[in-house]
Amino acid sequence: MPDQLSLVSAVAAIQNSLPKCGQVRVVTIDGPAGSGKTTLATALARELQQASVIHLDELYEGWDKSLDPVLFERIQAWILKPLENGLPPKHLRYDWGKMAFTSWQEVAYSPVVIIEGVGSGHSSLRPYVSQAIWIEADEDLLLERVVTRDGESVRGEMLTWQAREKAYFELHAVKNCANLHCRGQ
């Protein structure tokens, strides 16, 4: 969780931004796994009151295809295009236990839609984004936070994931292009 000053600054920046996706202000929160993206998204939604949250781990297609171009096509088709047209978004939800997409998840249409997860800062999404947030934490904490949250069985996958997310961050200049930067505690 970022400090209270970062949260207040982020809320003010979001409230003062213009909608770029129809009448909706899309907010993205990107950063390494374990940095606090979900926690920040939850806190922002609570403070903003009229905000919906979309978790990209529900749109990834397993570990190996998670940052493939099809993810960004899904985000455009399932989330951004409906919002741009004044419609509520919905997306297929990936079930990590079954290793398949299993159900549709409807998302409430609201003035602010927060998309959190690695991939939300992708360069193809930027024209729709009112505020892009980068969150990071000490590198030596990231892996252990994820293993504590998801179990020891993910450690091997996470080591591979960390290399993939780092390459993605660099390729798309995610940190440099973010409007706001904060640190997860």
User: Is residue 61 scored above 80 in pLDDT?
Assistant: yes
Tell me: domain 4-183, CATH 3.40.50.300, correct? yes
Asked if 119 and 56 count as a contact pair (C-beta separation under 8 A), the reply is yes
Mean pLDDT for 66-82 is 94
Of all residues in the chain, the percent with pLDDT exceeding 90 is 74
For the full predicted model, state whether its pTM sits above 0.85: yes
Residue 5 — very low, low, confident or very high, per pLDDT cuts 50/70/90? low
Q: Which of 68, 69, 14, 73 is nearest to 44 (CA)?
A: 14
What is the C-alpha separation between 151 and 28, in angstroms, rounded?
26
What is the C-alpha separation between 104 and 58, in angstroms, rounded?
10
Tell me, what's the pLDDT at 66?
A: 85
Residue spans per domain, the chain: 4-183
Q: Which of 179, 151, 175, 177 is nearest to 35 (CA)?
A: 175
Mean pLDDT for 63-69 is 86
Residue 148 — very low, low, confident or very high, per pLDDT cuts 50/70/90? confident
The per-residue pLDDT for range 98-137, each reduced to its tens digit, is 999 999 999 999 999 999 999 999 999 999 999 999 999 8
